[in-house]
Structure 1
Amino acid sequence: MKEMSANTALDCQRQQKHYGITSPISLACPKEIDHIYTQKLIDAMKPFGVFEDEEELNHRLVVLGKLNNLVKEWISDVSESKNLPPSVVATVGGKIFTFGSYRLGVHTKGADIDALCVAPRHVERSDFFQSFFEKLKHQDGIRNLRAVEDAFVPVIKFEFDGIEIDLVFARLAIQTISDNLDLRDDSRLRSLDIRCIRSLNGCRVTDEILHLVPNKETFRLTLRAVKLWAKRRGIYSNMLGFLGGVSWAMLVARTCQLYPNAAASTLVHKFFLVFSKWEWPNPVLLKQPEESNLNLPVWDPRVNPSDRYHLMPIITPAYPQQNSTYNVSTSTRTVMVEEFKQGLAVTDEILQGKSDWSKLLEPPNFFQKYRHYIVLTASASTEENHLEWVGLVESKIRVLVGNLERNEFITLAHVNPQSFPGNKEHHKDNNYVSMWFLGIIFRRVENAESVNIDLTYDIQSFTDTVYRQANNINMLKEGMKIEATHVKKKQLHHYLPAEILQKKKKQSLSDVSRSSGGLPSKRSSLDCNCLDSSRDTDNGTPFSSPVSTNKSSKPDSPPAGEVERSSAEPAAIIVEKPQSVPPAQGLSIPVIGAKVDSTVKAVSPPTVCTIPTVVGRNVIPRITTPHNPAQGQPHLNGMSNIAKNVTPKRSHSPSIDGSSKRLKDIEKFIRLESTFKDSRAAEERKRKSMDTIGGESMPIPTIDTSRKKRLPSKELPDSSSPVPANNIRVIKNSIRLTLNR
């Protein structure tokens, strides 16, 4: 038996092919215990529905076969209508390709299928969104059919025999599409428009990943485990600045390249080992980027200055190479790196027999982790409007995270990817409400008894970005609102049910250190830059095993040294009446709210600082300064480093107050301005239009039309268009708070 194992290990190493841009770390083959741990991992994942049975898999194949036949029929009909010879029509072909999680073989029960329709050169995109759309309309088994033609990657969405499908389109510069067509060939991209290249990119990346891993089955099982872990830990969302499916797949593929013979249980452990120690922003590459004469834009920090500011680059292996993680921010990277470290600690215990795999899949209690939260609420008057509105707001939350990160008093803004239904009693005007929660860590200011923090500008610029985009795509409807509210942890029960808030608390090692001796440990440096470490951690960091607790109905008692005005409301929250100003008509847009009633209507949640916003015209662009990755790597275990790694922070939040005379001057000035002027005129307006308060002046921001920013898939740009002509006013209030030591 031992001799057979030795021979198997020898054969394993002899057959090894080199994968990746470096040599493997280890060629060791799995032992019997590794297979036992792998089976335990599979058993731990089964309750979460990550595996489909044979019947479901076969049903997907049948549906894809039907769709493939529909595509062939449609292309043949289009060819006839364009008077192609019958001999050509008979061989024109057409094919459906899959990509994403289904193509990788890691889809879960009930998951949708990402598919690509490939057509020959004489079939236009307009044919796809017209005649093929009509063909689908009359097809039995098709439900919820809708086209999103103006998306970043145009797509038709529908449900076919119970399977949700997202279908994109590409036409190749060839006359026939054969069944054995290989999309990995770079020459297929020649003479294609950018939308076709984007549509092809998903298939090309997925296929390339599968060609770059040593063992596809081991890769798939490892990826299933890592994706499930990421979803359970709340770090699976490309849209919100974490990682999406293709990014997780590339990280797992790189791990497989470094340990080509390892079992899945070992690879999960090595995954955490590798990426908890990875020196970001060094890029993750599955292969050396290849040169091409197609002259398409690729990720290359040597050529593109904007690529140098990416914080966590993971580069797609197919040409044109792109960074799949351009949405990652300082906060999301910090959260993910700490989760990698936590995952390493747990898998160490598992492989030592001290824990089982269920511990790795325990969700964190986000609502015990921080002392301060921002509650972001999106509401609409109808279900249809609400679905559209929520999708847009969610796609822009990372703008809010970026704004908060640039505030000098904030060291971390952690968004929870899960949204929650809002309390309709608190939104009597709108019946459809969704909420997101952002955990906030404030920086400690030395030698200060209290600190005044103004989040007005950070949140208003976010809401303005959302409203501008909604206007640009003609989505904006009466009743669509955004509210941002600052609350403390003890006030969350006004927004969430007890079963969510009463989950097991996690005890912070920094709290253990403080209670045992009062001396800071390495882990307690988590809060070293906070206003008060007890104010932000509150036994909520995700470092150690959960401890059961029963939530008392009474609010938490304030930590020593922290003066609370009331146990039921935040300290020193000011809601002020802003001045009024007419909407701008050109590129220079003042940051000024419309008139509102000075009285604030009381509702059942605590009186908190909010920014109720009704749709309107006063909007401003997002103003961004790239982060410099050369300044170092932030760690959740050392928050003091975060402030050094982000862009220079503002010394104060710009004020929206100003004299009435000055506002009248601005109104008169704006009305005389044309919609678009050259950049010199815009600069002159910016210099003349200053809001002055307390001896400090703030230039009115202008839209930088020269700056281009790569946007995520299926998302429209925040185009620098003229100010929307919608006549509904935007109502804004200030959001300010005072934190005491």
Structure 2
Amino acid sequence: MLVSRFFRVYTQWRWPNPVMMCPIEMGELGFSVWDPRKNPKDRSHRMPIITPAYHCMNSSYKVSLGTLQVMTEQFQCGNRICEEIELGKAEWSALFEHYPFFEAYENYLQVDIVAADADDLLTWKGWVESRFRQLTLKIEQDTNGLLQCHPYPNKYIDPSKPCPNSAFFWGLSRKEVGTSKECQQFDFQGTVKNFRRGIDNYRVRREGRDIYFSYVCRRHLPSFVFPDGYKWHRPSRHFNEQSGKPCEDVKMCQSCSSERQLKRKKEHEIKEVRPDKSVKQAFISSEVPQPVSPGMTTEDPTNNSEVMSSGGHLVSEKGESE
């Protein structure tokens, strides 16, 4: 069937080989066409899908390393479901289940856009949203592709804020490199500052329009992203659905964790005891101290009420600035 073939083909597709319905026409009108041999920017495209009409362009130029990874995983998931449907082991409804974005990651970047009134918010939000692609690409570039970002397209409204606002979220995940079990630290404060500086250069920037960045771990996500209440339904990470026993990946993880704890205990007995540092939880693991990043302070890790405003100063949710 056509749907099954779609997932099967794109599960096997070798990106960044382009998807084309017909050969690219150069034409005689002088318009620039997608050609990675001549255009350096075209060579950086992760998932080229070329339009068939002149002048041929890449319709998916916004795809980043992180979003390509997400789509590749979903192609594989769709292919597995279609195979089960063909065998009579699954229903078509399984293919259209909602993706649990706020359960898929341990760490998130939250961006709050505020304005004085609804009309201001519409204009201000439109400009900021148009720059989100640059933020995603720069975070991945500045971390050498080791920190991948999954931007969530849906926006939310924080009812606790007195002014019109929109909240957006990015899922953050660390790319596995080799067989190393060590956790990587990431600090993209400079990246966010540069993004904020570009936003501030907008010619119609007015008083009351602002943007806030904050780091949020999954257990501290705001309640407004769960309108139906928080539901945990990811047993596949911990248990085999058929046997009900822990998966091998979890066993390995637990084993590695025990080995790390034993190693640290021995090192602690040999080396001098160093004073503890009160730092915010690391982006990927709470076991490794994390450099202070946007929305991350040296205060109590359970307090996520402090964020960085576009003015560069620390602002609490109560509106008090330091």
* Normalised TM-score (structure 2): 0.74
The CA deviation at 1:416 is: 1.0
The CA deviation at 1:288 is: 1.4
In the alignment, what sits opposite 1:436? 168
The CA deviation at 1:336 is: 0.7
In the alignment, what sits opposite 1:489? 218
Looking at structure 2, the residues matched to 320 and 409 of structure 1 have their Cα atoms a distance apart, in angstroms, of 31
In the alignment, what sits opposite 1:270? 5
In the alignment, what sits opposite 1:477? 206
The CA deviation at 1:562 is: 4.9
In the alignment, what sits opposite 1:37? none
The CA deviation at 1:408 is: 4.5
In the alignment, what sits opposite 1:642? none
* Higher RCO (C-alpha 8 Å, min separation 6): 2
In the alignment, what sits opposite 2:269? none
Alignment-mate amino acid for residue 166 of structure 2 = S
Residues 285/573 of structure 1: CA separation in 2 closer, same or farther (3 Å cut): closer
Alignment-mate amino acid for residue 305 of structure 1 = P
Check conservation: 1:573, 1:608, Cα contact below 8 A.
Answer: no
Check conservation: 2:49, 2:60, Cα contact below 8 A.
Answer: yes
Q: Equivalent of 1:731, from 289, 312, 320? A: 312
Alignment-mate amino acid for residue 731 of structure 1 = G
Residues 433/442 of structure 1: CA separation in 2 closer, same or farther (3 Å cut): same
Looking at structure 2, the residues matched to 291 and 438 of structure 1 have their Cα atoms a distance apart, in angstroms, of 38
Looking at structure 2, the residues matched to 323 and 441 of structure 1 have their Cα atoms a distance apart, in angstroms, of 27
The CA deviation at 1:506 is: 5.7
In the alignment, what sits opposite 1:281? 16
Q: Equivalent of 1:455, from 188, 196, 199? A: 188
The 5-angstrom pairing of residues 370-389 of structure 1 reads 370-389=105-124
The CA deviation at 1:432 is: 0.7
Looking at structure 2, the residues matched to 288 and 415 of structure 1 have their Cα atoms a distance apart, in angstroms, of 32
In the alignment, what sits opposite 1:337? 72
The CA deviation at 1:310 is: 1.2
In the alignment, what sits opposite 2:140? 405
CA displacement, residues 243-275 of structure 1 (integer Å, 9 cap, x when unaligned): xxxxxxxxxxxxxxxxxxxxxxx1111000111
Name the SS for the 1:501 alignment partner.
coil
In the alignment, what sits opposite 2:252? 518
Check conservation: 1:367, 1:501, Cα contact below 8 A.
Answer: no
- 2:307 pairs with 1:610: yes
Check conservation: 2:213, 2:307, Cα contact below 8 A.
Answer: yes
Looking at structure 2, the residues matched to 493 and 387 of structure 1 have their Cα atoms a distance apart, in angstroms, of 23
Looking at structure 1, the residues matched to 76 and 181 of structure 2 have their Cα atoms a distance apart, in angstroms, of 33
User: Alignment length, in residue pairs?
Assistant: 273
Check conservation: 1:379, 1:433, Cα contact below 8 A.
Answer: yes
Check conservation: 1:311, 1:330, Cα contact below 8 A.
Answer: yes
Looking at structure 1, the residues matched to 130 and 229 of structure 2 have their Cα atoms a distance apart, in angstroms, of 24
Check conservation: 1:370, 1:439, Cα contact below 8 A.
Answer: yes
Residues 455/609 of structure 1: CA separation in 2 closer, same or farther (3 Å cut): farther
Looking at structure 2, the residues matched to 274 and 514 of structure 1 have their Cα atoms a distance apart, in angstroms, of 28
Name the SS for the 1:454 alignment partner.
coil
The CA deviation at 1:315 is: 0.8
Alignment-mate amino acid for residue 309 of structure 2 = P
CA displacement, residues 596-621 of structure 1 (integer Å, 9 cap, x when unaligned): xx9x9x9xx923662211xxxxxxxx
Check conservation: 1:401, 1:413, Cα contact below 8 A.
Answer: yes
CA displacement, residues 90-115 of structure 1 (integer Å, 9 cap, x when unaligned): xxxxxxxxxxxxxxxxxxxxxxxxxx
Looking at structure 1, the residues matched to 81 and 130 of structure 2 have their Cα atoms a distance apart, in angstroms, of 32
The CA deviation at 1:305 is: 2.4
The CA deviation at 1:496 is: 3.0
Looking at structure 1, the residues matched to 2 and 198 of structure 2 have their Cα atoms a distance apart, in angstroms, of 42
CA displacement, residues 127-184 of structure 1 (integer Å, 9 cap, x when unaligned): xxxxxxxxxxxxxxxxxxxxxxxxxxxxxxxxxxxxxxxxxxxxxxxxxxxxxxxxxx
Alignment-mate amino acid for residue 195 of structure 2 = F
Alignment-mate amino acid for residue 397 of structure 1 = F
Alignment-mate amino acid for residue 188 of structure 2 = L
In the alignment, what sits opposite 2:242? none
Name the SS for the 2:247 alignment partner.
helix
The CA deviation at 1:321 is: 0.9
The CA deviation at 1:300 is: 1.4
The CA deviation at 1:464 is: 2.0
Looking at structure 2, the residues matched to 610 and 282 of structure 1 have their Cα atoms a distance apart, in angstroms, of 41
Residues 295/434 of structure 1: CA separation in 2 closer, same or farther (3 Å cut): same
Check conservation: 1:486, 1:608, Cα contact below 8 A.
Answer: no
In the alignment, what sits opposite 1:348? 83
Residues 494/358 of structure 1: CA separation in 2 closer, same or farther (3 Å cut): closer
Q: Equivalent of 1:422, from 144, 158, 179? A: 158
Looking at structure 2, the residues matched to 351 and 458 of structure 1 have their Cα atoms a distance apart, in angstroms, of 47
Percent identity, aligned pairs only? 28
The 5-angstrom pairing of residues 521-540 of structure 1 reads none
Check conservation: 2:156, 2:224, Cα contact below 8 A.
Answer: no
Name the SS for the 1:387 alignment partner.
helix
Looking at structure 1, the residues matched to 103 and 229 of structure 2 have their Cα atoms a distance apart, in angstroms, of 10
Check conservation: 2:147, 2:186, Cα contact below 8 A.
Answer: no
Name the SS for the 1:294 alignment partner.
coil
The CA deviation at 1:493 is: 3.8
* Bigger radius of gyration: 1
CA displacement, residues 508-536 of structure 1 (integer Å, 9 cap, x when unaligned): 37972234x4279xxxxxxxxxxxxxxxx
Check conservation: 1:331, 1:414, Cα contact below 8 A.
Answer: yes
Residues 563/323 of structure 1: CA separation in 2 closer, same or farther (3 Å cut): closer
The CA deviation at 1:404 is: 1.6
Which 4+ residue blocks in structure 1 deviate beyond 6 angstroms?
Answer: none
The CA deviation at 1:390 is: 1.6
Residues 312/506 of structure 1: CA separation in 2 closer, same or farther (3 Å cut): farther
The CA deviation at 1:299 is: 1.0
Residues 338/467 of structure 1: CA separation in 2 closer, same or farther (3 Å cut): same
Check conservation: 2:189, 2:293, Cα contact below 8 A.
Answer: no
Check conservation: 1:368, 1:506, Cα contact below 8 A.
Answer: no
Alignment-mate amino acid for residue 216 of structure 2 = V
Looking at structure 1, the residues matched to 176 and 33 of structure 2 have their Cα atoms a distance apart, in angstroms, of 41
Structure 1 gap segments, 5+ residues each: 1-265, 521-560, 565-570, 577-597, 614-729, 735-741
In the alignment, what sits opposite 1:27? none
Looking at structure 1, the residues matched to 6 and 309 of structure 2 have their Cα atoms a distance apart, in angstroms, of 44
Name the SS for the 2:49 alignment partner.
coil
Looking at structure 1, the residues matched to 67 and 109 of structure 2 have their Cα atoms a distance apart, in angstroms, of 16
Name the SS for the 1:301 alignment partner.
coil
Residues 382/294 of structure 1: CA separation in 2 closer, same or farther (3 Å cut): same
Check conservation: 2:157, 2:224, Cα contact below 8 A.
Answer: no
Check conservation: 1:573, 1:609, Cα contact below 8 A.
Answer: no
Q: Equivalent of 1:507, from 211, 228, 236? A: 236
Check conservation: 1:487, 1:608, Cα contact below 8 A.
Answer: no
Alignment-mate amino acid for residue 88 of structure 2 = G
The CA deviation at 1:563 is: 4.7
CA RMSD of aligned residues (A): 3.3
Alignment-mate amino acid for residue 395 of structure 1 = S
The CA deviation at 1:276 is: 1.2
The CA deviation at 1:301 is: 1.6
